[in-house]
Amino acid sequence: MTAAPSGPSELAALLARTADGDQSAFRDFYDRTSAKLFGIILRILVERGEAEDVLQEVYVTIWRKAAEFDPARASPVTWTATIARNRAIDRLRARKSRPAAPLDEAAEVRDESPSADALIDTGRDAARIHAALAGLEPRHAAAIRSCYFEGSTYEALAEREGIPVGTLKSWVRRGLMRMKAELAGGTA
């Protein structure tokens, strides 16, 4: 099993040592973060072998770019998860095509809304953003989830749903703005 989840400062320190070429720190960082990143990548790509390839690419990138990590700009988790998501989505876009399931079907296959118990463990930020997401109109929230977790494009999703792409964009953008306002403590 991997090491216990770590705080941002601890991960940032490991990244700093990684930037200096410290392989044991890099290994430690990998042990603490790879299961999370693999989960993220696998969720987008689904195909396991491809997800493993991308995970490998992501950590090679982290090794090479560790010196560029700036704790003032992003948390280590956000920084690494963003690299993982971007790599996975780029790989997804490079595919010729991907069989797409309708939103409802996707909801059956994948756990869209974490249980309250799960969120207790994941921290306050996660609980708040999932609460904000759950407060949106269900189809709008489903569209946001489909983009974020599966890497769907607006175009593909609009086609899947049989709605104009402008309508879908409007759902997603308004929804995200409302979530952001709620997270900032205001009302939407």
Partner 1 sequence: MTAPDDMIPQDMTPDDMLAMDFALGALGRDERRAVDVRLRSDPAFRTLVESWQATLSPLDDATAPVLPPASVWHGILAETAPAPATPAPKPAARSSLWNSLALWRGLALAGTAAAAIAIAQIGPIPVASPAAPGAPPQMLVAALAGADGKPLLSAAYDPLRGAVVLTPATQREDTGKSPELWVIEGDAPPRSLGVIDITGPNAHAISSKQLKGLQPGATLAISIEPLGGSPTGLPTGPVVATGKLTAI
Q: Looking only at residues 30 through 69 of this chain, which bind partner 1 when binding is defined by CB under 8 A? A: 30, 34-36, 38-40, 42-44, 52-53, 55-57, 59-60, 63-65, 67-68
Q: How far, in Å, CA of 55 to CA of 35, rounded?
A: 10
Is residue 155 involved in binding partner 1 (CB under 8 A)?
yes
Of the pair 16, 153, the CB lying nearest partner 1 is at 153
167 CB contacts (<8 Å, ≥6 apart)?
158
Q: Which of 104, 186, 181, 93 minimizes the C-alpha distance to 142?
A: 104
Which residue in 130, 142, 160, 161 binds partner 1 (CB under 8 A)? Answer: 130
Residues 95-114 that bind partner 1 (CB under 8 A): 111, 113-114
Helices 76-94, 23-45: axis angle to 10 degrees equals: 50
Q: How far, in Å, CA of 77 to CA of 6, rounded?
A: 10
- Shortest CB 88 distance to partner 1, Å: 9
- Shortest CB 185 distance to partner 1, Å: 13
